Structure 1
Amino acid sequence: MSPALRLTLQAFGQFVRTPTLGRRVAALLAVALLLLLTVNVAVFVMIGRTAEFNDTVEQVQQVRLTSRETLIRLVDAETGQRGFMLTARPEYLAIHEQAVRDLPDLLSELDALTTGDPDLEPRVERIQDLAGQRLDVMDRTIGLVRTGRIGEAVGLIRGGQGKALMDAIRVETAAIDEIQFTRLQFRTRQSEWAGHVTVIANALGGALILVLAGISVWLIRRYVIEIQDARAALDRLNAGLEHQVRDRTFELTRANEEVQRFAYIVSHDLRAPLVNVMGYTSELEQAGKVIDRQIVTIETRAPRSVDPDAVAAVREDMPEAIGFIRASTEKMDRLINAILKLSREGRRNLVPELLDMTAMVRSIADSVRHQTEAADAEVVVEPLPVLESDRLSIEQVLGNLIDNAVKYLDPSRPGRIVVSGEETAGGWITYRIADNGRGISDRDHERIFELFRRSGRQDRPGEGLGLAFVRNSVRRLGGDITLESELGKGSTFILKFPTRLILPAVGDRP
């Protein structure tokens, strides 16, 4: 059993065991659904019975019609026979012959309609036998008339055999008609009874559903009143909590502003002596060049009067020391600039706007195309959901992440960077920047977001401030950033932002 299904069953079991209003309403709805199902079943059964009744009526009418048609055709045959005997005219015989041709089909149809019916099948067989005998008598009289023995033919008719056969056929036909009529009446009474029962069941079901609906409305009304009372109490509690949160937020905001102001002041104050060091370093370098030119002049005039140690100090030791000082001051300058950048970013006002993220990321990808082409790499930008946030901050975050992904690609395989995104539950949007580069060790997944901390081989330029700046910017936008990475296989930075940037209302203490 899957964990999701197990959790669902546990939650359902807890719901069933807990005597709550929701459970009562659910039970009433279940009973109402059961009643509706019962009514639907009753209607379905009634429809089936009606269809069966219609089939029975059709079959009864067809049997009655066919039996009567058979009798009519026998009477037509008899009429044609007598007309021919009286007038010897062939047109009467044509009536007889047409009726004789129709009778086999009618008898076959009647037999097919009554096959398997214990009440009708014997009677139909008797009609077939009697009809055959009657047609035989007719054929004999017609044959006698054709040979001129009219007296014998009249005598055969007067013998009454034909009349007796027709009377017997009429009796069987009437019996079939009576049986079918009785069945039709019985089926009609059954259908009427079933209809009445269905109407009563539907009426009772509808009444019960209305009663259950009324009970449900009453329970829901009471539940709504309880919810309103609980909400009022919760609002009162939240009012106190909001006041506390507002106070704490104000204090944290003020502390953060003080930290940013302190960082700005410290960075600004550090820059003044650093500029002096850098200026005096340049002057010292220029002085070294002047001394070197003077040594060259002395070497030209009196080579032996120049101390080799002094030459080495001026041409080797001093430039090397100046180079170290310059590299250190330049690094310190970069660090101060980065700290100032973080400080300024924290004080900058955010401006929410609707961002076409797909176009933005494609523009960033185009800006690093010369680097990706040189590294035999590609940046794939999938369709991204739009985001309402601060444009500059989002561009800086994504630019840093894509630039890092390009910087730390693995040269042993073609590079591939994929930027994707999706909307998630709760009003959030998630973006992923995935690459197949060097990857990051598990122990450094959190470390790389700290100031001045880097991971892996330090063969790329940087001070360890980029990801710290990224996380600070993401958090300021109300989002979060996490990392999924495996050393040697690549990294995926996961950015989660609210769909809309909500600016905090920071002001005076309330």
Structure 2
Amino acid sequence: MESRTSRRWAAFRQFLRTRSPYRTVLLLATAATLLLLVVNLTTFFMIQRIADDNAQVDHTQEVRTTAREVLAWLLDAETSQRSFLLTGRADYLTNYERAAEILPERLNALVGLTLDNPEQNARAETIRDLAEDRVAVLETAMDMARAGRNADALAVVRRGQGSELMVQLRDEISVLDTQERNLLRRRTDQSEDTSRSTVYINAAAGLLMLILATMSFIILRRFIGELAEARDEVAAANASLEQKVKERTGALSRANEEIQRFAYIVSHDLRAPLVNVMGYTSELEQAGKTIDLQMAKVETAQPDLVEQDALVAVREDVPEAIGFIRASTEKMDRLINAILKLSREGRKTLTPETLDMTGLCQKIADSVQHQTSEADAEIQVADLPTIESDRLAIEQIFGNLIDNAVKYLDRDRPGLITVGGRETAGGWVEYEVTDNGRGISDRDHERIFELFRRSGRQDRPGEGLGLAFVRNSVRRLGGTIDIESELGKGSTFRLKFPKRLVLASGEEFQ
């Protein structure tokens, strides 16, 4: 067991010392994973801090509201008492009795809310004492009035003791409110600073993740390009030297093994950070909504405390950054899936069978009937010669070509797509897929068959893999593909296949 572990460790160290695209992509994926872990932990702590700051803001607002309620209820009690003493009407006592019932609870609440601040708590205690003294003066006059001693009750009011207490109460509540307003401003600023820091940290991390993913993609694309070049060299060598074919075939096999290892990285190591970016982007979006909701509360209660830059950052900059990150990661995911598809297709075993090409192409045309109807287009399939080849590969080749012809029709004129074919000397069959669409510039006739390369306006969905896949599949079937096209007049793709695909015993095309 120890020997096996030692061998694996030695192999891993050798792998790290050997420069290769595989090692580079693996290191980039590891760096991306570590970055995600750091961002995850940082975001968690920052969100907790934002929640604490918002709770402090709410607490300060509650202290100010409670102090104002105390003053309001005392004023209601005074007004109710004076109205009763002047008119003698008992219905004026309703507000007085309500105030006498609510004031003790509000005063105790004010004292309890300020326990975290000794200075404010002492001031709240003073407010409670003054309020209780004021209520006692009010109650003395009310007792006299209830006993029919209105003159004595009015004399108590005229002495001014209650007014002096109210002046002191207003002063104490004003000082308390000023202190709480200053606290609210500081806490609001702190909450906004924390929110902005969270946004900037996540935006920077997302950008760094995209950079790492792009670097990995560029390395992978370069490697696939080198692999395609190696396949072309093998095809050229096949016409001259058998020994050279064997050498190139061996190199191609090794390259295919390497691309499969790359496919594993793409599907696991590289996909994992992309999935995490998508997930944390959703969490960041939700956090932004929470911050926006809290800032809306502050904006409603104290609009002068909210900075316009903070509102723009939360309501415009953050959603825009999140949308950019999400669109970029989704595009990377589509590219990875396309690369994996191309890799898997290269490993399939070909199974020759006799194919009714007329029926096969007509089914493909029928499958895009809804698209051609919308585009005012028509697909005409002529009587095509049969061929003995791999059904799935042929269906994919013609499916891609017909789908492209429909996709790039010229909307200014009725579309027409024709599929024709004929047998030629030497055991070959030629097919043509012709359209009257946009056409392709002369300088792009070769580049459209390259990986991730497209021609003309990029106003149709696609990743630039379709025609590269078609040419690769045609060559695996022993055929060739050429194009004739002119801008504004349409395109013709010519395919040439052996009438019968012959495989050596036990051979698999890879």
- TM-score relative to the length of structure 1: 0.50
- One-letter identity of the residue aligned with 2:444: D
Indicate the residue corresponding to 1:497 in structure 2. Answer: 497
Q: Check whether the contact 1:437–1:490 (CA below 8 A) recurs between aligned residues.
A: yes
Q: Which residue of 1 aligns with 2:451?
A: 451
- State how 1:288-437 maps to structure 2 within 5 Å: 288-437=288-437
Aligned counterparts of 1:315 and 1:448: Cα–Cα separation in 2 = 42
Structure 2 stretches of 5 or more lacking a match? 1-239
CA change 1:256–1:431 in 2 (3 A) is: farther
Amino acid at match of 2:253: R
Aligned residue number for residue 255 of structure 1: 254
Deviations 1:289-329 (A, max 9, x none): 22122222222322222221111111100000011111111
- AA aligned to 2:448 is I
- Counterparts of residues 450-469 of structure 1 (less than 5 Å): 450-469=450-469
Higher gyration radius (CA): 1
Question: How far apart, CA to CA, are the structure 1 residues paired with 2:255 and 2:498?
Answer: 22
> Match of 2:471, as an amino acid?
R
Q: Distance in 2 between matches of 1:317 and 1:425?
A: 66
Q: 1:322/1:396 Cα in 2 relative to 1: closer, same or farther (>3 Å)?
A: same
- 2: CA distance between counterparts of 1:254 and 1:339? 18
Distance 1:475 1:273 in 2: 36
Between the aligned partners of 2:416 and 2:399, the Cα distance in structure 1 is 16
User: Partners of 1:490 and 1:377 in 2: how far apart?
Assistant: 14
- State percent identity of aligned pairs: 69
Aligned length: 269
Structure 1 residues 310 and 505: alpha-carbon distance in aligned structure 2, compared to 1, 3 A threshold = farther
- d(CA) in 1 for partners of 2:440, 2:245: 39
Alignment of 1:56-67 (within 5 A): none
Q: CA deviation at 1:265?
A: 2.9
Q: Which has the higher contact order (CA 8 A, sep 6+)?
A: 2
**SS of structure 2 residue aligned to 1:467:** helix
What do residues 263-303 of structure 1 show as CA deviations (whole Å, max 9, x unaligned)?
41342232122112111111111111221222222223222
The residue number in structure 1 matching 2:480 is 480
Task: For residues 423-452 of structure 1, give each alpha carbon's deviation from its aligned partner in whole angstroms, at most 9, with x where no partner exists.
Answer: 111111111000011111110000101111
Task: Measure, in 1, the Cα distance between the counterparts of 2:332 and 2:422.
Answer: 41
CA distance in 2, matches of 1:289, 1:295: 10
- 8 Å CA contact 1:263–1:339 kept in 2: the answer is no
| Structure 1 residues 411 and 311, CA gap change in structure 2 (3 angstroms) | same
Write the deviation string for residues 113-153 of structure 1: whole angstroms up to 9, x where unpaired. xxxxxxxxxxxxxxxxxxxxxxxxxxxxxxxxxxxxxxxxx
User: C-alpha root-mean-square deviation of aligned residues, in Å?
Assistant: 2.2
**Aligned pairs (5 A) from 1:210-225:** none
State how far apart, in whole Å, the 2-side matches of 1:363 and 1:427 are: 26
Relative to structure 1, the CA distance from residue 341 to residue 255 in structure 2 (aligned partners, 3 Å threshold; closer, same or farther) is same
Superposition pairs of residues 118-137 of structure 1, within 5 angstroms: none
| 1:259 to partner: Cα distance | 4.1
Letter in 1 for 2:410: D
Deviation (angstroms), 1:506: 6.9
Q: Is the 8 A contact 1:397 1:470 kept in 2?
A: yes
Partner SS, residue 329 of structure 2 = helix
Deviations 1:144-181 (A, max 9, x none): xxxxxxxxxxxxxxxxxxxxxxxxxxxxxxxxxxxxxx
- Superposed displacement of residue 352, structure 1: 1.6
Mapping 1:145-224, distance limit 5 Å: none
Q: Distance in 1 between matches of 2:485 and 2:249?
A: 37
Distance 1:473 1:284 in 2: 43
The answer on whether the counterparts of 1:260 and 1:346 sit within 8 Å (CA) in structure 2 is no
Structure 1 residues 447 and 246 mapped into 2: Cα distance closer, same or farther (>3 Å)? closer
Give the AA of the match of 1:281: T
Q: Report deviation, 1:250.
A: 4.2
Deviates more, 1:415-424 or 1:249-258: 249-258
SS of structure 2 residue aligned to 1:502: coil
SS in 1 for 2:464: coil
Q: CA deviation at 1:249?
A: 5.6
Shift in CA distance, 412/246, structure 1 to aligned 2, threshold 3 Å: closer
Normalised by the size of structure 2, how large is the TM-score? 0.50
Relative distance call for 1:506 and 1:282 in structure 2 (3 A) is farther
User: 1-side partners of 2:506 and 2:255: how far apart?
Assistant: 12
For the residues of structure 2 that align with 1:329 and 1:448, how far apart are their CA atoms? 25
- 1:89-100 to structure 2, matched below 5 A, reads none
Query: Any idea what the Cα deviations from partners look like across 1:469-496, whole Å, max 9, x if unmatched?
Result: 1111111111111101111111000111
Give the corresponding residue for 2:25. none
Amino acid at match of 1:258: E
Counterpart CA distance in 1 for 2:255 and 2:505 is 15
Relative distance call for 1:263 and 1:420 in structure 2 (3 A) is farther
Equivalents in 2 of 1:403, 1:452: separation in Å?
17
Q: Secondary structure of the equivalent of 2:423? A: strand
**Are the aligned partners of 1:352 and 1:388 in contact in 2 as well (CA < 8 Å)?**
yes
1:236 aligns to what? none
